[in-house]
Amino acid sequence: MKRLCLVLCLLLFMTQALSGCQSISQEESSQEEASREQTSENSVGIFYTNETATTLQEYALELSTDMSVTERVETVMEALKNPVHNYVSILPQGLDITYEVVQNEENGAESVILHVVGDYESLTPNVENVFRVGLMKSMIRIPEVYSVELWAWCANEEGTLQEERVSYLVQDTVIVNEADENFFRDTVEVTLYFLNEDSTQLVEETRTATVLMSERLEGKVLAMLIDGPQEEGHRTSIPEGTKINEVMVQNGVCYVDLNEAFVRNQVAGEEMEYLTIYSIVNSLTRIYGVDSVQFLIDGQQREFYKSSVRINTPLSYNEEMIQ
């Protein structure tokens, strides 16, 4: 990890991509520091995300003991709108959240009802997932809050918009399930690019990825490419023995660090080199927030992949490679 961060800092400095920003290593350090600080009994864990909305990152927010539940909800909402350090807000641009604190009819406890104002259905799957889960988890951790509801405007079968409850969470469920990493997960539709039957062009394969909140969608997509296609007539483009060292995103660039086998075991010629590279590039750039892909081999930048394909600069989506 340290080696990758050092290389990334050098690359970003050379391309001036970090103008006005801190280095990746500094960013990760500040986020780790943020997650450790303010861990008193009066703090609650709220959630931010990364710039590609593929993971949740917890931050300890201090709440005064003399606050009412409504004041605590307001404080948490303001913190979610204004992320600290280098975190990114889970609240999507163009959406607003209104809320009300009511007394639960069943047990007299406090419940928080959240209403989404804006086009909820236009959110991409991973953005919607991070927004919904992060918001619900942040609210349910507020002291004296027993349940949280999230309502949004959705189209019914007739195409008419109506407000529907899209998520519901109670303290009892959190207590039982929060230790289980599979509790907070979701499925995301992704587009992967494999070889066609005669290995001359790329073909799309739509798949469903199950992503835990501790995982990166970019890494999941890359692993699915390495595992190979599922549809008949599709072929893998990834050389045998390829393994992932690290995947991370900074300023819209997805940095993919693969092992030496990715280069050494590519023996099919120049055309296959292009297809291999762009099967990865095209798949990753279909993810929200990823604009281009920079390859590294065992933490080092190289000018060429094997013989002819330049990989010393970030590569963007290439429609010409697709059948």
What is the per-residue pLDDT across 148-164, written as a single tens digit (0 to 9) for each? 999 998 877 777 888 88
Cα gap 88→286, rounded to integer Å: 20
R_g of the chain, CA atoms, integer Å = 22
Contacts of 200 (CB under 8 A, 6+ apart): 271
- Chain position carrying tokens 């990758």: 4
Neighbours of 192 (CB within 10 A): 27
Neighbours of 240 (CB within 10 A): 10
The closest alpha carbon to 90, from 37, 126, 140, 141, belongs to 126
What is the per-residue pLDDT across 24-69, written as a single tens digit (0 to 9) for each? 334 444 444 444 444 456 788 999 998 878 778 889 999 988 999 9
Q: Where are the domains of the chain?
A: 34-179, 187-321
Look at the pTM and tell me if it is higher than 0.75. no
Reduced to 3 states (helix: H, G, I; strand: E, B; else coil), residue 154 is strand
**Which residues of the chain, if any, have pLDDT below 70?**
1-41, 106, 172-187, 212-214
Counting Cβ atoms within 10 Å, is residue 129 exposed (0-12), middle (13-18) or buried (19+)?
A: buried
